[in-house]
Amino acid sequence: MALGSFASNGFDSKRQRALPIPRANANMKTFTPDSSIASDVIPSMNYGERNKGRLPDMIVLHYTGMPDVEGAIAQLCTAGTDVSAHYIVLEDGRIVQCVPEAKRAWHAGVASWAGEQDINSCSIGVEIINRGHDWGYPEFPLRQIAAVIALCRGIMLRRKVPSHRVLAHSDVAPSRKKDPGEKFPWHSLANSGVGHWVQPAPIVRGETLKLGAISDDVADLQTALARYGYGAPANGKYDATTMEVVTAFQRHFRPARVDGVADHSTLTTLQSLLASLPDEAMAVAAK
Ligand SMILES: [Zn+2]
């Protein structure tokens, strides 16, 4: 989610540490959280059934991209906004569940990964409270990241989510989304067994592929991005879409420079990631 400003009011801001439960939801039927470390349930109105009973085998991480927590929770839980997520992770590490994992939450929007378009049907959506790029983009507090790691580890175990399918919203919707962004510490998650990650290759001077280039090298880059799962074109042209995909790749895997230019470091990091994918992932990618 990254929806810009949201007029939040009606919450008692003097209630310290109480969760801002949207009033319309106060009487909604609650449910038992799927995660034992979710401390609260705020049922969202916004969900449906997973298409053809598709079981989730992906986690999509987001930031809320809104200036305040109350507005973000209201946005995700109030009927009519058409957005939701299974979980919200607060800055202090508390975890709120809004949609049962069995249901289809509405967090990914128009998206694709590894040839699949209905990302909401195949994923668990986790919204991380952070104001995002439009509102100063603060660092993610350590305790919040620790909570994201613990939550994801549980989901991965229960749902058999492979590490390479723990993704950013920007990975599955590179033309539209930046979240959770280049400050999100994917390396810390990987150190705890969450997500596929390799040490990014150092940035060095040298030739690059960039917007406007047309060559076999561009075609090879597009093929490599698509093999990893990205919705990259296959036309040999370094067009705007290709640049957006490279930018998304860098936000996740080479955050030291996010410029949409495929330099040596970007290409090498991509090759290392592909080389370290488990065999079953490559079989899926080859389909
Ligand atoms: Zn998002």
Following CA atoms 263, 265, 266, 269 in sequence, which dihedral angle do they give, to the nearest 10 degrees?
160
Q: Which residue has the tokens 């929007």?
A: 109
Contact 83, 190 (CB under 8 A): no
pLDDT at position 281 is 73
pLDDT at position 17 is 65
Q: What residues of the chain score a pLDDT lower than 50?
A: 2-16, 287
Which residue among 127, 182, 244, 280 is the active-site one? Answer: 127
Q: Could you read off the pLDDT of 232-241 as tens digits, one per residue? A: 999 999 999 9
Q: How far does the centroid of ligand 1 lie from the alpha carbon of residue 278, in Å?
A: 27
Whether 139 sits among the annotated catalytic residues: the reply is no
Q: SS3 for 48?
A: strand
E strands along the chain, which residues? 40-41, 47-48, 58-63, 87-89, 95-97, 104-105, 123-128, 166-168
Q: How far does the centroid of ligand 1 lie from the alpha carbon of residue 216, in Å?
A: 33
Q: How far does the centroid of ligand 1 lie from the alpha carbon of residue 214, in Å?
A: 32
Q: Could you read off the pLDDT of 136-159 as tens digits, one per residue? A: 999 999 999 999 999 999 999 999
Q: Kindly state the DSSP code that residue 25 receives in the 8-state scheme.
A: G
Nearest CA to 201 out of 250, 261, 242 is that of: 250
Q: Which residues contact 30 (CB under 8 A, 6 or more apart)?
A: 41, 43
**DSSP string of 117-171?**
--HHHHEEEEEE----GGGT-PPPPHHHHHHHHHHHHHHHHHHT--GGGEEEHHH
pLDDT at position 20 is 75
Q: pTM for the full model?
A: 0.91
